[in-house]
Amino acid sequence: MTEINRQEIRLDVEESGIARLTLARPDDRNAMTPAMGQEIKETVAELNERDDVRVVVITGEGRSFSAGGNLARLAEEAEAGSGGAGEGRGIGGGRSFYSLFLSIRDLRVPSIAAINGHAIGAGFCFSLGADLRVVHRKAKMGMTFVKLGIHPGMAATWNLPRLMSPSLAAELLYTGRLIDGEEAVLLGIASRVADDDFEEQVDSLALEIAGNAPVAVRAVKETLRGTMSRSIEEAIGLEADQQAMTFGTDDAKEGIAAIQEKRAPNFLGR
């Protein structure tokens, strides 16, 4: 296992192919800062250069996933007034700040937000940038922006309606109410909820993904990325192209042989 410690995040890459990106500001409930966002963006670029990484787990150190924007910084922004629109204003500075954190969407491998504790405001938005979410039953999540008198940011109004019913997404955005892990699964925001077995549930999902053919998994992620804007005819064509590509890999030969021989496959990612 390799471990990389930065100022505000930590990265661990295991031999299993699981990379763990941990927000490491537990004394401040992993509140988000521009420096943290920059470290995440740089880490995403580094992970994309590694062939040994098959899935990325994103979590928070301590009792919180992320409390969102720093309240002292938010107070300064409110005191300063509206200023310029979009850039240079808002949580952490607006568009550039949001893009730093949502760079996790650029990971070429699947990502899992392991929501171990509260994910509030921008912290909740950050978790929606991952492909999947596993939530601790006691964790609270909420788009609390309107309770602070501010408009949501970090693609809240784009991501949330794509994960759940648009009307229910609107309810969460209009009310700013908190939900727990159980409701997150019922709404379709999370795929799993866990109690004391939280880490085991996260690892089980991550290992299941990491055990599949890496080239095929990356291709599926790329196909899913644009699925909301494609017609079914376009989807059929793209899937045919990607399937043809994967049929030419050694992993396809290995996967078929493993089924025929009734054994576990050993995918090498080529």
pLDDT at position 6, please? 87
Final residue before a domain boundary, out of 210, 227, 242: 210
Q: Which domain holds residue 242?
A: 214-260
* pLDDT the model gives residue 69: 75
**Residues 156 and 234 placed together within one structural domain of the fold:** no
The pair of structure tokens assigned to 223 is: 């196909």
Of 174, 189, 210, the last residue of a domain is: 210
CATH at residue 234: 1.10.12
Q: Do 216 and 239 touch, CB atoms closer than 8 A?
A: no
Three-state SS at 252: helix
Q: Would you state the torsion angle of the CA atoms of residues 227, 232, 235, 241, taken in this order, to the nearest 10 degrees?
A: 180
171 and 80 assigned to the same domain: yes
Q: Give the residue from 196, 31, 192 showing the smallest Cα distance to 114.
A: 192
pLDDT at position 81 is: 62
Number of structural domains found in the chain:
2
Q: Are residues 206 and 222 in the same domain?
A: no
**Residue matched to tokens 């990971």:** 107
- For residue 125, being part of any structural domain is answered with yes
Same domain, 239 and 165: no
**Would residue 267 count as lying in a domain?**
no
Q: How many CB atoms lie within 10 A of CB 254?
A: 16
Q: Domain containing 54 — which CATH number?
A: 3.90.226.10
Are 91 and 222 part of one and the same domain?
A: no
Tokens at 77, concatenated: 């922004």
- Structural domain contains residue 171: yes
Same domain flag for 163 and 247 = no
Check if the beta carbon of residue 32 is closer than 8 Å to that of residue 92: yes
Residues 220 and 191 grouped into a single domain: no
CA–CA dist 198, 234 (Å, integer): 39
Query: Would you write out the chain's pLDDT as a tens digit for each of its 270 residues?
Result: 777 888 999 999 999 999 999 999 999 999 999 999 999 999 999 999 999 999 999 999 999 999 997 666 665 655 566 544 555 555 656 788 999 999 999 999 999 999 999 999 999 999 999 999 999 999 999 999 999 999 999 999 999 999 999 999 999 999 999 999 999 999 999 999 999 999 999 999 999 999 999 999 999 999 999 888 899 999 999 999 999 999 999 999 999 999 999 999 999 999
Same domain membership, residue 89 and residue 199: yes
In a domain, 268, yes or no: no
Integer Cα distance of 220 and 233 in angstroms: 17
Q: How many CB atoms lie within 10 A of CB 24?
A: 19
Domain membership of residue 266 (yes or no) is no
Q: Same domain, yes or no, for 73 and 102?
A: yes
Q: If you search the block for the tokens 């019913």, which residue do you land on?
A: 165
Report the predicted TM-score, pTM, of the whole model to 2 decimal places.
Answer: 0.92
The Cα 230–Cα 258 span in angstroms is 34
Q: Are residues 92 and 145 in the same domain?
A: yes
Q: Which residues pair with 21 in a beta bridge?
A: 11, 58
- Candidates 16, 48, 54, 107; CA nearest to 217 is 54
Span 58-103, pLDDT tens digits: 999 999 999 997 666 665 655 566 544 555 555 656 788 999 999 9
Determine, yes or no, domain membership for 265. Answer: no
By the 8 A CB rule, do 184 and 135 touch?
A: yes
Nearest to 115 by CA among 188, 55, 64: 64
Answer yes or no: is 164 within a domain: yes
Determine the pLDDT at residue 131. Answer: 98
Burial of residue 152 (CB within 10 Å: 0-12, 13-18, 19+) is: buried
Give, to the nearest 10 degrees, the angle between helix 156-163 and helix 166-175.
Answer: 140
Is the same domain home to 188 and 255?
no
* 269 domain-assigned: no
Domain co-membership, 93 together with 200: yes
